[in-house]
Amino acid sequence: MMDSVTLGLVSLAVLVGLIAIRMPIAYAMILVGGIGITIVNGVAPVFNQLKTLAWGQFSIFDLSVVPMFVLMGALASKAGLSRSLFRGANAWLGWMRGGTAMAAIAGCAGFGAVCGSSLATASTMGRVALPELKRYNYSGALATGSLAAGGVLGILIPPSVVLIIYAIIVEANIVTMFAAALLPGILAVILFILTIAIYVWVRPEAGPSHGGVGREEFISATLGLLPVLTIFGIVLGGIYGGFYNPTPAAAVGVALVAIYGVATGNIGWKSFIGALKETAATTGMIYLILLGAELMKIYMSRIGLPQATAAWIIESGVAPMTVMLLLLLALIFLGCFMDSLSMILLVIPFFWPVLVDLNGGLYMPAEGAGFGMSTEDLKIWFGILALIVVELGLITPPVGMNVFVISALATDTPMSETFKGVMPFFLAELVRVALLVAFPVVVLWLPRVLGG
């Protein structure tokens, strides 16, 4: 019989193979984890785990925030917020060369702050911004590339469902993770806008200016931004200010978005029921993946693969930062084949213990060996880096889910053009990763300020 490490590696290979042939990742993890535990300990422990595991996982209070933010995003998609965001951003930025594409990026950032989903951000903003980009004769590559790239902002700019799941996995404070994501999210917006500026400087014909709007239109469009800014301020301002934790904040956000949608006539009974159905389907998918991930985590812990991996890396003498960079590269590679949530749930439980061991253990002093920071700081810093490289999977071939979403909307633009248009933004994301690796303070500064 093969040893535990070999069994674990074979199990991971089987898991990747099942995912590659399009088996839903939740079922793949439940199947591999269940069979693995049966091989190691017999069938009885599997049934014992399944008897209590689902309740133990899904009764965690922190998880109640997931359906609330998912519902908030579903309602935001139907409430017309995206149209107001793009119109306001275009009034401010459209006078510049490439300004309408920049407005699309700003609109994606604003909508992501309310929605928290990359695919929903790309899809919703794509419907709003693509007609305008075509009307002003933007090249297909820049128009579709900027929208596909702008969609990735939804996964990091808080509130973010994937960020919440990461916090639950590594037992981090959700409010702290939201604070840590804010500056890197703003940095992404700045880098994307600079990327568009460079793009149209090199190829002026790709992004012409529309010459600006009249004073009345400018004032009207600017006032249209106020509802979004108000919702964003109340939800995140209340969290950062300590008035309520993320779950009540999400409930407040749902109520505010619903009130706005009803007041503007964009949300009726039918669309509200549709948002509830979308929320139920998405939440059910997330919870089932969580169950499969926990079963895999139990299996891997029983055969000792994470511990063996950590011991091997430490004994090999590889520098901790080298391991971190290799792990980030692995996440970029996996992003070519898997969605962001699946990657976080599959990879983080396996590699996080390795990073903790490399950092000197769970209770290491703030300064010392490893990464030169406390485990709590490492938890925050690594989480933001991981989410950023996971974002890259949404715009990299062959999967590139955001690219597929935008291509489905821009039927007159070949997908190859969209991938070409996305590449400058991909490079901008690599620059952002390099900056955050070199200067962890960009991630850690705001959580330290808010934490006193």
The secondary structure of 420-450 as a DSSP string is HHHHHHHHHHHHHHHHHHH-THHHHHHHHHH
Domain membership flag for residue 113: yes
Instruction: Please give the pLDDT value at position 369.
Output: 56
Q: Which two three-digit tokens encode residue 83? A: 């149209």
Question: Rounded to 5, what percent of the chain is helix, strand, coil?
Answer: 80, 0, 20
Domain membership flag for residue 277: yes
pLDDT tens-digit readout, 322-354: 888 888 888 887 777 677 777 787 788 778 888
Note whether 253 and 235 are within 8 A (CB).
Answer: yes
**Burial degree of 420 (CB within 10 A; 0-12, 13-18, 19+):** middle
Residue 180, C-beta contacts closer than 8 angstroms, at least 6 positions apart: 380, 381, 383, 384, 443, 444, 446, 447
Nearest CA among 81, 79, 100 for reference residue 91: 100
More confident of the two residues 7 and 262? 262
Number of domains into which the chain is organized: 1
- Kindly report the number of other CB atoms within 10 A of residue 295's CB atom: 24
Note whether 432 and 187 are within 8 A (CB).
Answer: yes
Compute the average pLDDT of residues 36-53.
78
Residue 185, C-beta contacts closer than 8 angstroms, at least 6 positions apart: 109, 153, 156, 157, 158
Note whether 367 and 397 are within 8 A (CB).
Answer: no
Query: For residue 172, is pLDDT > 60?
Result: yes
Domain membership flag for residue 381: no
Instruction: Please give the pLDDT value at position 122.
Output: 84
Compute the average pLDDT of residues 373-388.
90
More confident of the two residues 188 and 126? 188
Compute the average pLDDT of residues 245-259.
88
Instruction: Please give the pLDDT value at position 300.
Output: 81
Instruction: Please give the pLDDT value at position 365.
Output: 46
Query: For residue 119, is pLDDT > 80?
Result: no
Note whether 85 and 72 are within 8 A (CB).
Answer: no
The angle, 0 to 180 degrees and rounded to 10, between the axes of the packed helices 269-303 and 305-316 is: 70
Mean pLDDT of the chain: 83
Question: Can you give the residue range of the structural domain that contains 174?
Answer: 62-281
Rounded Cα–Cα distance for residues 381 and 401 (Å): 26
Domain membership flag for residue 95: yes
Nearest CA among 214, 231, 219, 182 for reference residue 80: 231
For the ranges 133-142, 225-234, 333-342, 378-387, the lowest mean pLDDT is seen at 333-342
Nearest CA among 280, 272, 228, 270 for reference residue 253: 228
Rounded Cα–Cα distance for residues 104 and 94 (Å): 10
Q: What is the CA radius of gyration of the chain?
A: 22
Domain membership flag for residue 265: yes
For the ranges 56-60, 200-204, 378-382, 428-432, the lowest mean pLDDT is seen at 56-60
SS3 label, residue 260:
helix
Instruction: Please give the pLDDT value at position 434.
Output: 93
Rounded Cα–Cα distance for residues 190 and 288 (Å): 36
Q: Which two three-digit tokens encode residue 22? A: 């399009």
Cβ density class 95-119: b for 16+ within 10 Å, e for less: ebbbbbbbbbbbbbbbbbbbbbbbb
Q: Which residue, chain included where needed, has tokens 């061991």?
A: 357
Nearest CA among 412, 430, 424, 426 for reference residue 200: 424
Instruction: Please give the pLDDT value at position 79.
Output: 84
Domain membership flag for residue 297: no
Rounded Cα–Cα distance for residues 185 and 187 (Å): 5
Domain membership flag for residue 317: no
For the ranges 11-20, 48-57, 100-109, the lowest mean pLDDT is seen at 48-57
Compute the average pLDDT of residues 203-217.
80
Instruction: Please give the pLDDT value at position 366.
Output: 45
Q: Give the whole-number percent of the chain exceeding pLDDT 90.
A: 16
pLDDT tens-digit readout, 144-168: 999 989 888 877 888 788 888 888 8
Domain membership flag for residue 336: no
Rounded Cα–Cα distance for residues 335 and 290 (Å): 19
Q: Which residue, chain included where needed, has tokens 């692995």?
A: 330
- Kindly report the number of other CB atoms within 10 A of residue 226's CB atom: 11
pLDDT tens-digit readout, 302-323: 887 777 777 777 777 778 888 8
